[in-house]
Amino acid sequence: MSESPRLSVGGEWFATHRPASGAVLESVVIGAGQAGLSAAYELKRRGKDFAVFDSNEGAGGAWQHRWDSLTMDDVHGVADLPGSQAPAVSSERSNQIIPAYFAEYEERYQLPVFRPVRVLSVESAEKNLLVLTSAGDVLTQTLVNATGTWDCPFIPRYPGA
């Protein structure tokens, strides 16, 4: 199985895949976890011109960072993606099984996921949005924020805790 497209810091993707001068992507998806891959699946199905930027080195979203004791027996089907089901329940570690499943999904549907790319900011640019990334900038008509909470989780404050 070949790897999904990669964007190296230094602008490789922008040299070979960036729209022609003045052209604008129809959408940019930030994050390639479950929400990002689900959005990418629908954008691909609808024939849209888009890119997915993910800050992780590899596929798997937050699943790759889960604790080793979380097994597929405990996942209960919550890792399914559109048009696909996660591997059958087993006692194997979910932080290995689900990232492999996500990588295979990206390949099967030929989703344009580029990593590691960190989105630094999004700015208004007339009728479009300017997405500034660690690998260069791109214009888009729409944006899907699928970053999740892994890098910056909300930790509620409890008096006396």
Cα(67)–Cα(63) distance, rounded to whole angstroms? 9
Residue 88 in contact with residue 73, Cβ under 8 Å? no
Beta strand 136-145 pairing with 119-125: unpaired
Tell me the CATH number for domain 12-145: 3.50.50.60
Q: What is the pLDDT of residue 73?
A: 67
Is the model more confident about 29 or about 160? 29
Which residues does 141 contact at the CB level (< 8 Å), separation at least 6?
Answer: 24, 25, 26, 27, 127, 128, 129
Task: List pLDDT tens digits, range 62-102.
Answer: 777 776 776 666 666 677 888 888 777 787 877 787 888 88
Query: pLDDT tens digits, residue range 8-53?
Result: 333 455 555 555 555 789 999 999 998 999 999 999 999 999 999 9
Full-model pTM: 0.80
